[in-house]
Chain A
Amino acid sequence: MVEIFQILGQEIYKILFLLIPILVSVAMIVWLDRRVWGLVQKRKGPNVVGPFGLFQTLADALKYIFKEIIIPASANKTVFIIAPIITMTLALIAWAVIPMSEKLVLADINVGILYLFAVSSLGVYGIIMGGWASNSKYPFLGAIRSAAQMVSYEVSIGIIIINVLLCVGSLNLNDIVIAQKDLWYIIPLFPMFVIFFISSLAETNRPPFDLPEAEAELVAGYQTEYSGMMYAMFWLGEYANILLMCAMGAILFLGGWLPIVDIYPINIVPAPIWMILKILFLFFLFALIKAIVPRYRYDQLMRLGWKIFLPFSLIYLVLTASFLFYFDKLPKGNF
């Protein structure tokens, strides 16, 4: 019995060491996002609180904590409260399988990429529950939009993941990274990387696909009725999800924790630093896109997902498979 508690204690210790850096980096990433957005528009962005305005998000979070939580009278209370909790939890538990180096990973499970995909596909529930439980028109419309959007783009993300898996022959995230030792998959699978990036914009409801919270049409979409800490949980969960999609992109296409080239002065930089740099690079692209691209119309969004991305990634899947088969490059696997 004592041993069980010891193991439990160790695991909790590890989990805390994973969660706290992620929460801090989510706060920093919000600052970075606003900063990049500001600089693109020739503004300064948040630069007052702390050095370079780094503590802006902490100040915002403090403000949200002390604000009153308002629950609408006609809302379904339980679901209303559960919704932001689900969003936040799902955004955080996915990080358990992300490898920061070969050894530095909380759960090195066999089906890591499926776990990531499953968790990101569950993310829609937080939004749809929040929108429905608010019992109000704008949140409901926003939730329906967002659910349809996320389900549509998951399909093409799934096929892109299959593309990568065909080249690797394993569902383990560390295996996926190690398989890219000679050649990052962004080079042979470049079109898939582009589609993955755009789909992950849609999956996380980022501009130009931020229709669920399109201010001009839907006030604030599914989060209209939320206030105080519950709103902040939606907001942090969304950014944690964005960071997660960046990590997924880095692992699938940019070689995860591998250094850019494996020669002496570069490969002494520790692996987690490379991983963080790649995530930051992808996030920088996310932030740039937010600033420079106008919002899509809803039918255009659906057309892009179903009529362009899905067929294209399917065709590319067939191409990849035939290429690998013809040149006898199919992974033999270690089973």
Chain B
Amino acid sequence: MIAHSIFFYFFSIIAIFSSLMVITSRNTINSVFFLILDFISVGCLFIMVGAEFLGMIILIVYVGAVAVLFLFVVMMLNVAEQKQSWFIGKKSTHLPTGLIVSVLIFFELLVVVGGWKYKDNLMSSSTLDISSISNTHQLGLVMYTDYILYFQLAGVILLLSMIGAILLTFRERSGVKKQSYFKQISRSPESSIELKEVDSNKGVKIDD
């Protein structure tokens, strides 16, 4: 039990410290690294409360894929230029939006935590049997029975946003030479080689 609480405090201190460092560190790359550290320690906390599936999924999805893309974007951007227009410049238009979003998220947190504490059967499920089965099986049983609609909706929303992002960045360029494997493979000597008799001093016209 002692070991358990030692590990709990260890990981939660790392989580809090790194989330503070995310917003305070000057170098943007460093703050992404701290974000990754934060994700990892939150994943460890999930594993400690017995939700090993969620912990691993956080590691795979957030750390293994999302944070890599964050890192990509931050490395590619011109960070010094960005910094000025965000905080130091006069037109800090991002601040109100950020405040509104964070207040919304805070209230959401309050509702969820409060509702969970004062009303026991807020999120009741008919199929969930916590006692005997493993974590992953529980999740599967609930997600594909009671919450199938929300699960599918979330999937559709993700798909839509993916298609939207692709559409936004997609430009059809003309005049670009592309390699077509089918064309290459289906070429034969008959269709591509021609033997020509060349008269001396006259040359030959080849249509390209």
Stretch at the interface among B49-57, B96-104, B108-116, B185-193: B49-57
A110 contacts B72, C-beta separation under 8 Å: no
Complex Cα–Cα for A124 and B137 (A): 30
Chain B neighbourhood of A277, CB < 8 A? none
Contact flags (1/0) for A135-153 with B, using CB distance below 8 Å? 0000010001001100100
Chain B neighbourhood of A144, CB < 8 A? 72, 75
B33 contacts A79, C-beta separation under 8 Å: yes
Complex Cα–Cα for A4 and B7 (A): 13
Complex Cα–Cα for A4 and B5 (A): 13
Given A4-B2, A122-B63, A154-B64, A333 contacting B33 (CB threshold 8 A): no
- The secondary-structure label for the interface of chain B is helix
B52 contacts A109, C-beta separation under 8 Å: yes
Chain B residues 33 to 71 lying within 8 A of chain A, measured CB to CB, are 33, 36, 52-53, 56-57, 59-60, 63-65, 68-69, 71
Given A4-B3, A109-B52, A147-B72, A122 contacting B64 (CB threshold 8 A): yes
A110 contacts B52, C-beta separation under 8 Å: yes
Complex Cα–Cα for A148 and B68 (A): 9
A335 within 8 A of B: yes
B137 contacts A335, C-beta separation under 8 Å: yes
- The secondary-structure label for the interface of chain A is helix
B142 within 8 A of A: no
B128 within 8 A of A: no
A118 within 8 A of B: yes
B3 contacts A117, C-beta separation under 8 Å: no
Nearest Cβ on chain A to B49's Cβ, whole angstroms:
14
B33 contacts A118, C-beta separation under 8 Å: no
B63 contacts A114, C-beta separation under 8 Å: no
Contact flags (1/0) for A100-142 with B, using CB distance below 8 Å? 0000000001110011011001101100110010000000100
Complex Cα–Cα for A144 and B74 (A): 12
Complex Cα–Cα for A154 and B71 (A): 17
Q: Which of A124, A151, A171 contacts B136 (CB 8 A)?
A: A171
Complex Cα–Cα for A1 and B1 (A): 11
Contact flags (1/0) for B1-30 with A, using CB distance below 8 Å? 011000000000000000000000000010
Q: Which of B3, B64, B132, B134 contacts A121 (CB 8 A)?
A: B64
Given A79-B33, A110-B136, A124 contacting B53 (CB threshold 8 A): no
B29 contacts A132, C-beta separation under 8 Å: yes
Report the count of interface residues on A (CB-CB < 8 A).
28
Complex Cα–Cα for A196 and B33 (A): 30
Q: Which of A110, A124, A158, A333 contacts B68 (CB 8 A)?
A: A124
User: Interface residue tally of chain B, by bracket?
Assistant: 20 to 34
Q: Which of B29, B71, B75, B134 contacts A110 (CB 8 A)?
A: B134
B157 within 8 A of A: no
A121 contacts B65, C-beta separation under 8 Å: yes
Closest to A147 in B: B68
Complex Cα–Cα for A128 and B32 (A): 13
Chain A neighbourhood of B132, CB < 8 A? 335
Nearest Cβ on chain B to A293's Cβ, whole angstroms:
17
Given A132-B29, A144-B72, A335-B133, A111 contacting B65 (CB threshold 8 A): no
Complex Cα–Cα for A35 and B83 (A): 53
A128 contacts B71, C-beta separation under 8 Å: yes
A118 contacts B134, C-beta separation under 8 Å: no
B135 within 8 A of A: yes
Complex Cα–Cα for A333 and B140 (A): 12
Complex Cα–Cα for A63 and B56 (A): 39
5 A-B interface contacts by CB (under 8 A)? A4-B3, A111-B56, A111-B136, A128-B68, A147-B72
Q: Which residues of A contact B (CB under 8 A)?
A: 1, 4, 76, 79, 109-111, 114-115, 117-118, 121-122, 124-125, 128-129, 132, 140, 144, 147-148, 151, 154, 158, 171, 333, 335
Q: Please list the 8 inter-chain residue pairs (A to B) with the smallest Cβ-Cβ separation, ordered nearest first.
A: A121-B64, A335-B133, A114-B56, A118-B59, A335-B137, A118-B60, A111-B52, A111-B56
19 more CB-based (< 8 A) A-B contacts, given A117-B56, A118-B56 = A79-B29, A109-B52, A110-B135, A111-B56, A111-B136, A114-B53, A115-B56, A117-B60, A118-B63, A121-B60, A122-B63, A124-B68, A128-B71, A129-B33, A132-B29, A147-B72, A151-B68, A154-B65, A335-B134
